[in-house]
Amino acid sequence: MQQRQVAIHIDQVSMCFGQGAEQVTALDSVSLDILENEFFTLLGPSGCGKTTLLRLIAGFEQPTSGHLQLYGQRLEGTLPFQRPINTVFQSYALFPHLTVAKNIAFGLEMQKKPQNEIDATVEEMLALVKLKGFANRRPHQLSGGQQQRVALARALANRPKVLLLDESLSALDLKLRKEMQVELKRLQRETGITFIFVTHDQEEALTMSDRIAVMSGGVVQQVGAPADIYDRPVNRFVADFIGETNFLNAVVVTDGFDLGKLGTLPYPVSKLGLGSKVTLALRPERLCFSEDGLPGVVENVVYMGTDTIYHISLQDQPGMHVRLQNDYGAQAAYQIGNSVKVGVLADSIRVLED
């Protein structure tokens, strides 16, 4: 496979706000490489530094230390209007006194492109975001979804090397958001522009991204493809933040994990230190009920349509959720108060070292 170029190179970037005792570290020595033509997502809870990182790439802030490169060129000291990077803001920030067409043309006019080229690009962009016929409307005459698409068109009209999207779908209702997720992915494929998308919505990140960086406390916790992050989380934060996870506290013994009163869970522990404490992460949908499983009691049964989630209490351990797919017309397999045994397959266990 051909080696893809690095679009954005982030090298040990730190960002602090405030001074003295009130100083807050928003980013702590973050290093990342974002590739050409990639749909890259910065995912994390609010306050994790993802938006700060985006603002550093756009040039609205300058890093306290470290540096950024765009296709090998250092970005420090350049202002936003000097960078071939465009942003889709969370609130869209469409200029209220300009028409849709004038909003889309703004960046091109500022770059002093010839008028016929501007007109052609505006037409093309309106078609791309399916807003033909809306050219002369004002932003306030559009719905939230339409404004969102104008904001996208305004940024894409400049053919930026990198497009930044700051929580750009969060203001839309669920149905529109799902549509726009597909739409964004399509636009990214069709334009071949590197997209850097910021979100706190893990589902959104998993559906759209080529790669995801999970952030927390100003630090990148893990970078990888959606399946990598979901199936092989590197630590408890990632396992907990992405999807639903059950955690068991265990001690490594010769033939598996000692779970206290629940007994021993067999596992090939050759690579782990005997006697060390570990956390086992188990996805609810990878569990089942079986005769030789861990004994527990059904505390709650939650019917979800496609699935049913059983809340199981265990001795010595935090409770677990088991998610089973429903057969058409079938009754729930267990009721509240039933004693059950939760079957754990060795290959569904993710071991997190403490």
Partner 1 sequence: MTTSVNPLWRFRGVAGTAWFAMVYLYLPILILIVLSFNANKVATIWSGFSLQWYSVVLDNPNIMRAAKNSLIIASCATVVSTVFATLAALAMSGPTFRGQSVINAMLGLPLLAPEIVTAVASLLFFLAIGMELGLLSVLVAHVVFCIPFAYMPIRARLEGMDPRYKEAASDLYATPWATFWRITLPLLMPGVVSGAMLAFIISLDDFVITFFVAGAGATTLPVYIFGMIRMGITPEVNAISAMMLLVSILFVILSWLVGRVKQ
Residues that bind partner 1 (CB under 8 A): 58-60, 79-81, 85-87, 89, 91, 93-97, 106-107, 110-111, 154-155, 158
Cα end-to-end span (Å), the chain: 37
Nearer to partner 1, 106 or 247 (CB): 106
Bridge partners, 123 (sequence order): none
Nearer to partner 1, 15 or 280 (CB): 15
Nearer to partner 1, 71 or 106 (CB): 106
Task: Tell the smallest beta-carbon distance from residue 81 to partner 1 (Å).
Answer: 5
225 close to 239: Cβ distance less than 8 angstroms: no
Task: Tell the smallest beta-carbon distance from residue 97 to partner 1 (Å).
Answer: 5
Q: Which residue type is seen at 148?
A: Q
Nearer to partner 1, 172 or 280 (CB): 172
Question: Which tokens go with 111?
Answer: 């770059």
Nearer to partner 1, 111 or 313 (CB): 111
Task: Tell the smallest beta-carbon distance from residue 57 to partner 1 (Å).
Answer: 11
Nearer to partner 1, 109 or 179 (CB): 109
Task: Tell the smallest beta-carbon distance from residue 306 to partner 1 (Å).
Answer: 40
Task: Tell the smallest beta-carbon distance from residue 222 to partner 1 (Å).
Answer: 29
Distance CA 300, CA 338 (A): 10
Bridge partners, 279 (sequence order): 249, 352
Residue in the structure block whose two tokens are 């149905």: 175
Q: Measure Cα distances from 248 to 253, 269, 279, 281, 305 in Å.
A: 15, 16, 6, 7, 28
Task: Tell the smallest beta-carbon distance from residue 77 to partner 1 (Å).
Answer: 15
10 close to 75: Cβ distance less than 8 angstroms: no
Angle among Cα 159, 165, 169 to the nearest 5 degrees reads 125
Nearer to partner 1, 81 or 328 (CB): 81
Q: Measure Cα distances from 168 to 92, 196, 198 in Å.
A: 8, 11, 8
Tell me the CB-side half-sphere exposure of residue 298, using CA atoms within 13 A. Answer: 19
Task: Tell the smallest beta-carbon distance from residue 134 to partner 1 (Å).
Answer: 19
Task: Tell the smallest beta-carbon distance from residue 157 to partner 1 (Å).
Answer: 9
Nearer to partner 1, 96 or 329 (CB): 96
Q: Name the 3-class secondary structure at 159.
A: coil
Q: Which residue type is seen at 121?
A: T
Distance CA 70, CA 193 (A): 13
Q: Measure Cα distances from 193 to 81, 89, 209, 353 in Å.
A: 18, 17, 13, 38
Nearest alpha-carbon partner for 206 in 32, 323, 41, 325:
41
Task: Tell the smallest beta-carbon distance from residue 49 to partner 1 (Å).
Answer: 19
Cβ neighbours around 219 below 10 Å, total: 16
Nearer to partner 1, 91 or 143 (CB): 91
